[in-house]
Structure 1
């Protein structure tokens, strides 16, 4: 169940995704929040330089592994504008982070890309539970997913020279 605190963190993730897009990256943003509700780290997509592993969720997993105890990681929540890809899901699981809350799902992103005529990604868009079955996951949040959809439309419109 998504509460007001969850929505606030997801809205920040969407702001970070918009920042990523403005800086020439794909529109994804994430926030790591402690058990006490404190935002520990914010990250946005940085793949524009050519390194396709520069996802915000992966950066959070790496940071958490070196900066938090296993107990703190397990009690933390990762908020993100889009459901983790398989790489980020695996990193999340290996590091032992807790709950994930996302605004839009991998299935939604695949559908939006198909509607826009975008070629499928080179990595299959599996759900988080296909990678880390026992993880607590909440999402998508439909009204926030529409905001994420708009960012992806903007990215593909620009990449086609239409914006």
Structure 2
């Protein structure tokens, strides 16, 4: 169940997605939060460099593996603007991170991209649960999904208001 603290972190993910877009990247942003509520790390998509693996969820998983004991990782939460792709879900599972909370689903994103005439990704869009198991996953969060949709519209139709 999504609570006020979750919403606070998800709103920050929207802000990070806006930063990503302003720098020419796809609009995705994510936060890693410890069990005690401390924000440990935040990041946004940086794939405009040409490295399409520079997703924020992947960066957070790598940071967690290098900086957190396994027990702490399992109690942490990753908040993100969009449901993890297969690569990011696998990284999340491999490093043993805990709960995932996302705003928009991969199904929603696929629908938005189709509406915008964007060709499908070469990587299949799978739900997180189709990639990893034994992880609490909450989302989508409809209250914020239109904010994320609008960022994708801006990216693919910059003249759209």
Return 92-101 or 132-141, whichever deviates more: 132-141
1:36-84 superposed Cα distances (whole Å, 9 cap, x missing partner): 0110000000000100000000000000001000010000000000000
Take 2:127 and 2:134, find their aligned partners in 1: how far apart are those partners? Answer: 12
Partner of 1:111: 111
Equivalent in the alignment of 2:79? 79
Shift of 1:121: 0.7
> 1:8 corresponds to which residue?
8
User: Residue 7 of structure 1 aligns to a residue in which SS?
Assistant: helix
Q: Partner of 1:18 in structure 2?
A: 18
Q: What is the DSSP-based 3-state SS (H/G/I as helix, E as strand, rest coil) of the residue aligned with 1:30?
A: strand
Runs of 4+ aligned structure 1 residues displaced above 3 Å come to none
- What is the correspondence of 1:130-149 to structure 2 with a 5 Å cutoff? 130-149=130-149
* Aligned pairs, number: 160
1:92, CA displacement in angstroms? 0.1
Q: Report the CA distance between 1:135 and its aligned residue.
A: 1.0
For structure 1, the residue ranges without an aligned partner over 5 or more in a row are none
TM-score (norm 1): 0.97
Deviation, structure 1 residue 133:
2.3
Structure 2 segments unaligned to the other structure (5+ residues): none
Q: Which residue of 1 aligns with 2:57?
A: 57
Q: Aligned partners of 1:134, 1:70: CA distance in 2, in Å?
A: 15
